[in-house]
Structures are given as structure tokens and as C-alpha cells.
Amino acid sequence: TQLLEQSPQFLSIQEGENLTVYCNSSSVFSSLQWYRQEPGEGPVLLVTVVTGGEVKKLKRLTFQFGDARKDSSLHITAAQPGDTGLYLCAGVDDSWGKFQFGAGTQVVVTP
């Protein structure tokens, strides 16, 4: 079983600060996805990265896939209370066609 480790588990910051969360594995994934989950709801996809070294930006969110396709990071610039949520990374392995999820990073942004 491929394991995805996310760090930190919990992050509390003030509005306007920057933050970075990490997703690491010892295994290579075909692609990696980041989801955000709000209380009482299912996760919602933010981005998919597929190429080693790829960087994608979604407004104030920057996603990077490691060169070896084993790790990824999510950086949020000038965080806002609306960024509060559980951030999950999911690795996709084409050989067995399933998603492997990390345990998530709970982000709380206070006004």
C-alpha cells in the first residue's frame, strides 16, 4: 500500500498570512490531486498535477508536484477565512486505478 503523509496535521493562522502544506510519499504517482473539504460536505477537487516539477496556480493557491512525482505542496498567499477547511492530497496510480488519500491538513484562518 502506498502511503501519503501530509504535514502539518493542523495549522492555525491569521488572515493575511501565508501558509504551506505538504504531501509526501515514498512511491511514485501518475498524478496527484488536491481537494478541500468543508464541515458536513464531501471533498471538492482543487487541482490535478501530472508532470514532475509542474506548478499550477489557482488565484492565491500555488500547487507544485515534485520532480520525482513523489511529493507535492500547496501554498496559500494572503490567507482568508474562506480558505478554512481540510486539505487532502490524493495520489493516483494508473496501475491499480485507485486514489490513495492522505490524512489531511486542517487549516483554520481567523479574521
The DSSP secondary-structure symbol of 82 reads G
Which residues, listed in sequence order, are joined to residue 51 by a DSSP beta bridge? Answer: none
Q: Which stretch binds other proteins (CB under 8 A): 10-18, 53-61, 71-79, 96-104?
A: 96-104
Q: Which of 20, 31, 62, 77 binds other proteins (CB under 8 A)?
A: 31
Measured from the CB of residue 55, what is the shortest distance to other proteins in angstroms?
A: 17
Q: Which of 20, 24, 50, 73 binds other proteins (CB under 8 A)?
A: 50
Q: Which stretch binds other proteins (CB under 8 A): 11-19, 35-43, 54-62, 64-72?
A: 35-43
